[in-house]
């Protein structure tokens, strides 16, 4: 009889150990998932805060660039990002400005651009050169900011290296007044 009790006690001890180990591993996994999610939200909030601060500082200090667009745009699949496109008449040289967008590697990338305030550039989803249908008249020293929306489809391929490239040009008549570019990256 005594022998059976020892086995039963040993069995209970090993069952308790297994239960404690399973609970410990479960709590560890839940803790790691919580911390990972927390850091992900902190990173996202920090990026948005710095982007907002950059926009506010630029508006307060003005710009020395004739055409200003964010150079690197990173999107997750299914995400839409709002990007300001700013045209300025520096030194009174850009009276009647027309915006031109040239897209490279955009066809088949799953990325679409919308500039709803600029007729002729309302939807861009293929390679080529697109011009606005109208000019923007600016006083010397004046600026105008358009909102560009960049959308990555939920099934957009993840970019490795350089993704779609956008070249922005401000034109006065047939002459280039200012230019800049953006590279779009799509991540999971």
Nearest-CA neighbor of 65 among 186, 169, 150?
A: 169
- The series of mean pLDDT values per 10 residues for the chain, 188 residues long, is 57 81 94 91 85 69 71 87 84 72 81 82 78 79 84 86 81 82 86
The rounded radius of gyration (Å) of the Cα atoms in the chain is: 28
The pLDDT score that the predictor gives to residue 24 is: 95
The pLDDT score that the predictor gives to residue 62 is: 53
Give Cβ neighbours of residue 107 (< 8 Å, ≥ 6 apart): 125, 126, 127
Sign of CA dihedral 74, 50, 70, 170: positive
Judge contact between 99 and 87, C-beta under 8 A: yes
| pTM, to two decimals | 0.61
Ranges of each domain in the chain = 1-61, 64-187
Can you read off the two tokens belonging to residue 87?
A: 């045209």
* CATH class, range 64-187: mainly beta
């Amino acid at each position: 009889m005594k022998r059976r009790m020892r086995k039963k006690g040993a069995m209970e001890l090993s069952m308790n150990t297994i239960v404690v180990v399973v609970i410990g591993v479960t709590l560890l996994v839940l803790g790691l998932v919580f911390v990972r999610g927390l850091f992900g939200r902190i990173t996202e909030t920090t990026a948005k805060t710095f982007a907002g601060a950059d926009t506010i500082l630029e508006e307060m200090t003005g710009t020395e660039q004739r055409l200003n667009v964010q150079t690197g745009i990173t999107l997750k699949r299914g995400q839409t990002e709002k990007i300001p496109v700013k045209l300025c008449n520096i030194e009174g040289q850009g009276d009647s400005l027309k915006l031109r967008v040239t897209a490279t590697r955009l066809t088949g990338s799953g990325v679409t651009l919308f500039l709803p305030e600029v007729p002729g550039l309302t939807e861009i989803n293929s390679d080529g050169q697109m011009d606005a249908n109208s000019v923007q008249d600016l006083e010397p020293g004046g600026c105008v900011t358009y909102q560009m929306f960049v959308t990555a489809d939920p099934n957009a391929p993840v970019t490795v290296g350089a993704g779609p490239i956008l070249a922005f040009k401000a034109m006065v008549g047939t002459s280039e007044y200012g230019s800049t570019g953006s590279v779009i990256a799509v991540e999971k």
